[in-house]
Structure 1
Amino acid sequence: MSDTPFDSLDDCFALPRVEALALSPDGSRAVLTVATLKKDGTGYERALWTVPADGSGAPRRLTRSAKGEAGAAFTPAGDVLFVSARADAEGDATDESAQLWQLPATGGEARPVTRLAGGVDGIAAVAEQSGQVVVAASLLPSADSVEADAALRTKRKEAKVAAMLHETYPIRYWDHDLGPAQPHLLGLDLAGFADTIPAPEDTATDAGGEDDSADPSPYPPTLPRPIDLTPQPGRSVDNAEAALTPDGRTLIAAITQPEERGGRSVLVAIDTATGERTTLFDEPGFDIGSPVISHDGTVLAFGRAARSTPAGPSDEEVWVSALDGAGARRIAPAWDRWATSLAFAADDTALIATADQDGRGPVFRLPLDGGEPEQLTHDDFTYTHVGVDRAGGGYVALRSSYIAPPHPVRIAPDGAVTPLASPAPLPDVPGTIVDVEATAADGARVRGWLMLPEGASADIPAPLLLWIHGGPVASWNAWSWRWNPALAVARGYAVLLPDPGLSTGYGLDHIARGWNAWGAEPYTDLLAITDAVEARPDIDETRTAAMGGSFGGYMANWVAGHTDRFRAIVTHASLWALDQFQGTTDHSVYWQRIFTPEAMIEHSPHRHVESIRTPLLVIHGDKDYRVPVGEALRLWSDLAEHHAAEDGTMAHRFLYYPDENHWILKPQHAKVWYETVFAFLDQHVLGADWVRPRLLG
């Protein structure tokens, strides 16, 4: 068997990772965000690299700091903007907040653009033809200026107060508390911004620093002053999407219009000079977002979707209108796919979109004149971060599959793909990958990927791991560093990655399979394709296991309560008791909207705990607010109640992380995750002795 980086967990986690791409305005170069493992193995450092966009040359590192850099974007002049918590020589030496930085295209050191007490969360939009930039940044609700925000933060810090007062729902998101600060969109005009030698009074009282006076310290006059485009936002700008007109005068933003416990996404236009706001699209019962603006500044494109109900999922539509919202119309109405990104073609006559499709994620061209959508790429990859090259034609993007992590490529107008130079060479991946499919009882097609270890044959059939994806509205179609099947393949397992009902990339009807009935078609689809794969001579149907995370964890729990065909089951960040989950998750209104009360009870895995005969490995992080840790605690309690021996021992295991979220992101914890999972699988699937991972004590 050939050696690959996936034969060793240490070697795998040490692989550099390309996480994002931005294309320069002239199309000549791309900037990559590259993550590399820290020397102590407890995290990743990020830096920006530049590579030629024509396939020639070699990568060149642009940034280097202990805090790292990410979120790159280009100004019209070719300067690189990024967000970093690197030290600002003219700021507070103790400040660790991330700020906006600018690296001149002509060379030299990067310079800070902001010095906000709460830092910058990210770059929201950059104008194509002017110096206007919009950033997302959080301010305390009582602050009426960036100076007041700095003063309030200082007072909270000095008083050691961490309490938060909430006035609306929700109060948490994914893995963090919402508050006490509120996200804002702040405008910055970089026109004329240049390096200067600050006067002593300019550096003595920067925001958040020492100030003996009773008044807040003034914002540094040497930096562009942020203009608050969303004053008193409440939670309306959480996760806002935004686009600037080429001249930078108008910001189109998708913000949340509050309603009871949730809100609907609406599109507004904001004058970046005055802050005046105009609502463009606001439809009760619909979410409208993902705005993009044509290169000539006259056409607005956006996504529109009706609220899903227990009756079924709604379609994700693509619409266009004039910049003021006039003449709105849907394009590509017969295109039965959901766009995951949108951008205008170089000549503004079409939209360039990406979407899940049949276990891949191609690039599509959607004409604005009513013509048929055209698929531009036809390989086995999924594309992201697509940049349109207006100067040279074609596109630059990242692509990945289950045998190749994300890497930069150039896409010609005819769809031909050329790999670009990269500081993260593609690693050798063990085994092979094939398309597999089955026919469900109702005649529906169920497909997936099957990864086979080297040497799998009728003489040496491989044990099988059924990996169930999360979402549930998702698909197995792109590389994942979190759940990486190549690590299992390197250990001799075959891995089945199926797309059962509810999966994207197969049309709305396939998503509707199992809607409001997660334990129905999604479950029977999984069994059907597992049956088909187990019938292969190179698969050992007597040695199988199932595993999944999030919705995949829900389904792993459901499988455990409905069949004993698997020797072991791994259930990560899983839903166990839906009546409990729907009120404790970070966005309960969504889950209550898509289920009937009856279906939530009927399809709750906890009702079948007495039927579980398969050893379970339960895994959960305490900072998981999407699927709160109470799910795992109740699952563990129920397993103990019904299956513990008189001395309290069980075949089940519970791997708990006090400081991780929905996914296990710290590399040292991810290593323990895989060590525990493989030890559990090897024990029950391969008959090996149980070996407790050393770092678990």
Structure 2
Amino acid sequence: MTFEDMMKMRRLGEIAVSPDGRWVMYSATDVSLAQNTKTSHLWMVPVAGGESHALLAWEAGESRGRFSPDGKQILFESTREGGQQIWLADFDGATGKIGEPHKLTSLSTETDGAMWSPDGKSILFTSAVYPECNDDSCNQQKDEASAESKVKAQVFTHLLYRHWDHFTGDKRSHLFLVSADGSALRDLTPGDGHDVPPFSMGGPDQYAFAPDGKEIAFEENLDPVAATSTNSDIFTLRLDDANAKPVKISTAAGGDHSPAYSPDGKSIAWRSQARAGYESDRFRLVVYDRASKKITEPLPDFDRWIDEFVWAPDSQKIYFAAGDLGEEPVFVTSLDGKQSSELTDEGTYGDLHVTPDGKTIVAARQTVRVPGDVVALETDRVRKAAAGMAHRRVTYASPTDLGMTQTFFMQKDVTHLNAVLLEALDLSKMEHYWFSSLGRVRVEGFILRPPGFDETKKYPVKMLIHGGPQGEWGDSWSYRWNAELFAANGYVVVMINPGGSVGYGQAFVDRVNRDWGGKPYLDLMNGMTAAEVKYPFIDKSRECALGASYGGFMADWILGHTDRFRCIVTHDGMFNPESAYGTTEELWFNEWEFGSTPWTNRAMYRRWSPMLSAPRMKTPTLVIHSQHDYRLDVSEGYQLFTTLQRMGVPSKMLYFPDESHWVTKPQNSQLWYKTVNDWVDQWTK
């Protein structure tokens, strides 16, 4: 596989299922390397399988398609006439075709996250507005005045004045309701200085309608300093009372996320975290009884993160996806938790939908060898587990140890977005291996062999270090750090899930807390040694370590603590924790991970400071950082590069003035992969 091959692949986006359970509407992104663009388009395919057909092919693209409750219309979002707006089109359920779309909204502040009300008469969406404005004319005038002003200075009076890749400014996200005919626009969360919903990296919706359409549930964080708080709460708001105020129904000290009403309207489920200030606490599934106002937890002993969920049509079961030992299976549980089962084995599943008859689960699925496709799981048909899965799972505590059964559903592919291209490529299968680390803890690693693998040869190694630190490597596809592409030019790729990785229980996640360069570092080193012993084709004299975000920190830490690697690649890493605290924005992260602030716990910040190991740094290092990375400011990259140059360490810096924490523009991504692979080749080939 080449980089150009990867750019030709169509990237699956969101999916939606028609109310009659017959059709799947999905978005897919096409990349133009020549034009340096990525464009999303909407497609339709029968749930039973068959040919997909494009609904539109607008140059501006379309996304977030949603069926109306009666199945006679779809809504979607597009920037066809300037800013992103909501569009509607008639839908023919017999043919899967749509009529000529018309634009529903024309807000100067644009729209996002649109969804239908249960009766199909209204649409809920978000828009970033000035809290003091009561209409769009006011918002437009303020934006125009700001654009025309020669003064671009900003005045900050509170923290979280910038976030991830942008300055937050004076606007706040609000929830709006608009009639399906475009009239009666209503700001449901007017005034105040809080975002509704709070910032999200994507994933499940942060708001939902009650089945009768008279109430919504949504997330909001009312803590006075958003930069130090993870405590988003769940609120409900009556829509049939113009004077109604939001009512808080969640009680956890940590974050509460992704509310969803049961189809019978009796309950609201969401994902909840117990500990305040800890964004990586276990995401538990909780259910709120609307009549008794009691909150219960169906699976109190399920030691995995609930990443997303969906109600069964009968309101008696909940399907959910949760990371487990490098995979992301689908599970099901009854509301009392007494009947629960794992439904899939290999692969990473998400974007779950259940057909109205309850017979099919429609989901997105990906593996390390295949990017996202739509699949259908038939709930009334079961199959045997994939060969070798049982052996892999008994190596570490898994859901079956918590009383869950394994009932694997029959699965069929609904789409084949990249089948023709993939068939022509030599892509390696991911292999699992286990080893013991400090404290007799079992840790999992993965390897990919290079194309055209020859058992008799020795191969150089790229050891990839994931970010987070509460992240994971596993059976999934990535366009930013693609394991297959790293292996493609003759390398064994090693990926280890050290302490802090998810999918192995919360105690393993907590293994990284306040110990950034301790046990996780030893896990990585022990894992690399275990791979060298297990796989004799690894040339341990030609190894390179590559990491981004927390993986960038760990690459910096490795740089000052071992000379076993021939080269280092560090992307957007933390080099100086004390300066990183003052230049980051989500302060809850640093304060949790380093146990308070630098002036109250300076010893911890200095204990895990790669900068203080500068005299021991010798390994040739490629430093990568971007100007609009506000999670880990570009100054962290500058400091490391300056240090390496002054220490006489062979080094190079790749700087992107137009990227953030990730490199997203196609041609920038092309330069990134070329620079990284050339650097590794220079020192290991």
TM-score if structure 2 supplies the norm length? 0.89
Q: Deviations for 1:107-130, whole angstroms, at most 9, x for unmatched residues?
A: 31111111101111332x433444
Structure 1 residue aligned with 2:7, among 1, 13, 18?
A: 13
- Cα distance in 1 for residues equivalent to 2:118 and 2:622: 51
In 2, Cα distance between the equivalents of 1:41 and 1:487?
22
Select 2:492's aligned residue among 494, 502, 521: 494
> Residue deviations 1:533-590, cap 9 Å, x none?
1121121111111001001111111111111000011000111111111221121133
1:360 corresponds to: 327
CA gap of 1:625–1:376, structure 2 versus 1, over 3 A, is same
CA distance 1:504–1:560, shift in 2 (3 Å): same
Give the aligned partner of residue 444 of structure 1. Answer: 441
- Amino acid in the other structure paired with 2:208: A
| 8 Å CA contact retained: 2:33, 2:667 | no
Q: Give 1:681's aligned amino acid.
A: V
Q: For residue 54 of structure 1, give the secondary structure of its aligned residue in structure 2.
A: coil
Helix, strand or coil at the partner of 2:16:
strand
Displacement of 1:429 in angstroms is: 4.7
Residues 625 and 52 of structure 1, relative CA distance in 2, 3 Å threshold: same
**Worse overlay, 506-515 or 542-551:** 506-515
Q: Which runs of 5+ in 1 are unaligned?
A: 1-5, 88-95, 194-222, 645-649, 687-697
Aligned positions of 1:106-121 closer than 5 A: 106=92, 107-121=98-112
Match of 1:522 in 2: 520
Question: Aligned partners of 1:528, 1:233: CA distance in 2, in Å?
Answer: 51
Could you tell me how far apart the structure 1 residues matched to 2:652 and 2:271 are? 44
The aligned residue for residue 98 of structure 1 is 84
Report what 1:634 is aligned to. 639
Question: What is the 5 A alignment of 1:127-276?
Answer: 127-159=117-149, 162-190=152-180, 193=181, 223-237=182-196, 238-239=198-199, 241-260=206-225, 261-263=227-229, 264-273=231-240, 274=242, 276=244
Deviation at 1:289, TM superposition (A): 2.0
The 5-angstrom pairing of residues 303-318 of structure 1 reads 303-307=271-275, 314-318=281-285
1:619 aligns with 2:641: no
CA drift at 1:280 = 2.8
The answer on whether the counterparts of 1:243 and 1:292 sit within 8 Å (CA) in structure 2 is yes
Aligned length: 631
Aligned to 1:347: 314
Question: Which residue in the other structure is 2:660 paired with?
Answer: 661
Give the match's secondary structure for 1:246. Answer: coil
Match of 1:323 among 276, 290, 314: 290
TM-superposed CA distance for 1:151, in Å, is 2.8
**Is the CA contact 1:287–1:306 (under 8 Å) kept in the aligned structure 2?**
yes
| 3-state SS of paired residue (2:440) | coil
SS of alignment partner, residue 405 of structure 1: coil
Check if 1:278 corresponds to 2:257. no
Q: Single out whichever of 651-660 and 526-535 deviates more from structure 2.
A: 526-535
Q: Is the 8 A contact 1:295 1:344 kept in 2?
A: yes
Q: Aligned partner of 1:616: which letter?
A: T
Give, in whole Å, the separation in 2 of the partners of 1:255 and 1:439: 42
- Kindly indicate whether residue 612 of structure 2 is the aligned counterpart of residue 607 of structure 1: yes
Aligned pairs for 1:577-596 within 5 A: 577-596=576-595
Q: Which amino acid aligns with 1:77?
A: D
Q: Distance in 2 between matches of 1:9 and 1:347?
A: 46
Instruction: For residue 186 of structure 1, report the CA deviation from its aligned partner.
Output: 0.3
Query: Residues 159 and 585 of structure 2 are in contact (CA less than 8 Å); yes or no, is this contact kept in structure 1?
Result: no
Q: Distance in 2 between the 1:506 and 1:372 partners?
A: 22
Aligned residue number for residue 267 of structure 2? 299
Report the CA distance between 1:297 and its aligned residue: 1.5
1:294 to 1:392, Cα distance in 2 relative to 1, 3 A: closer
Tell whether 2:684 aligns with 1:685. Answer: yes
Structure-1 separation of matches of 2:658 and 2:442: 41
> Matched residue of 1:334: which SS?
coil
Q: Would you say the 8 A contact 1:623–1:662 is kept in 2?
A: yes
Q: Secondary structure at the match of 2:473?
A: coil
CA distance in 2, matches of 1:324, 1:252: 15
Deviation at 1:160, TM superposition (A): 5.3
| Residue 308 of structure 1: how far off its partner (Å) | 5.4
Tell me the equivalent position of 1:85: 79
TM-aligned CA distance change 1:235 to 1:558, over 3 Å: same
| 8 Å Cα contact 2:368/2:429 also seen in 1 | no
Q: Contact 2:313–2:358 (CA<8 Å) still a contact in 1?
A: no
Alignment-derived partner of residue 376 in structure 2: 410
SS at match of 2:366: strand
Paired residue type of 2:589: Y
Instruction: Work out whether residues 14 and 37 of structure 1, in 8 Å CA contact, stay in contact via their aligned partners in 2.
Output: yes
Shift of 1:342: 1.5
Query: Separation in 1 of the partners of 2:574 and 2:247?
Result: 38
Letter in 2 for 1:189: S
2:431–2:447: 8 Å Cα contact kept in structure 1? yes
Tell me the C-alpha RMSD between the 2 structures.
Answer: 2.0
Contact 1:59 / 1:421 at 8 angstroms: preserved in 2? Answer: yes
Alignment partners' CA distance in 2, 1:229 and 1:65: 32
Render the CA deviation track for 1:203-262: whole Å, top value 9, x for unaligned: xxxxxxxxxxxxxxxxxxxx2332100101413323271111122211100111123343
CA contact (8 A) 1:280 1:325 kept: no
User: Displacement of 1:309 after TM fit?
Assistant: 6.7
The worse-fitting range, judged by mean Cα deviation, of 273-282 and 523-532 is 273-282
Partner Cα distance (1:355, 1:398) in 2:
14
Question: Structure 1 counterpart of 2:237, which letter?
Answer: I
Q: Deviations over 1:161-213 (max 9, x none)?
A: 644444432111111111232111101232xx3xxxxxxxxxxxxxxxxxxxx
Distance 1:76 1:160, change over 3 A: farther
CA–CA distance in structure 2, aligned partners of residues 476 and 371 of structure 1: 31
Displacement of 1:651: 1.1
SS at structure 2 position matched to 1:149: helix
Matching residue of 1:570: 569
Change (3 A) 1:673 1:136: same
Decide whether aligned partners of structure 1 residues 35 and 281 sit closer, same or farther in structure 2, where only a CA change above 3 A counts. same
Distance 1:397 1:325 in 2: 33
Alpha-carbon offset, residue 38 of structure 1: 2.6
| Cα displacement (A) at 1:431 | 2.7
2-side partners of 1:443 and 1:116: how far apart? 59
What residue number does 2:359 align with?
Answer: 393
Distance in structure 2 (CA, Å) of the matches to 1:388 and 1:429: 35
Q: Distance in 2 between matches of 1:325 and 1:670?
A: 53
Q: 1:34 to 1:309 in 2, by over 3 A?
A: closer
Which string of whole-angstrom CA distances, capped at 9 and with x for unpartnered residues, describes residues 302-343 of structure 1? 122123579x96432211112367021111001111111021
Cα deviation for residue 39 of structure 1 reads 6.5
1:456 aligns with 2:424: no
Distance 1:137 1:161, change over 3 A: farther
Contact 1:21–1:30, Cα closer than 8 Å, also in 2: yes
1:68 and 2:61 matched: yes
Q: Distance in 2 between matches of 1:563 and 1:129?
A: 63
Aligned-partner SS, 2:61: coil
Contact 1:534/1:541, CA 8 A, preserved across alignment: yes
Change in 2 beyond 3 A, CA 1:309/1:516: farther
Going from structure 1 to structure 2, the CA distance change for 1:70 and 1:382 (only over 3 Å counts) comes to same
Unaligned segments of structure 2, at least 5 residues: 93-97, 201-205, 383-408, 596-600
Deviation (angstroms), 1:612: 1.1
Residue 48 (structure 1) shift: 0.5
Q: 1:429 to 1:101 in 2, by over 3 A?
A: farther
Deviation digits for residues 77-102 of structure 1 (CA, Å, limit 9, x no counterpart): 22222111102xxxxxxxx2110111
Aligned match of 1:208? none
> Structure 1 residues 39, 534: CA separation in 2 closer, same or farther (over 3 Å shift)?
closer
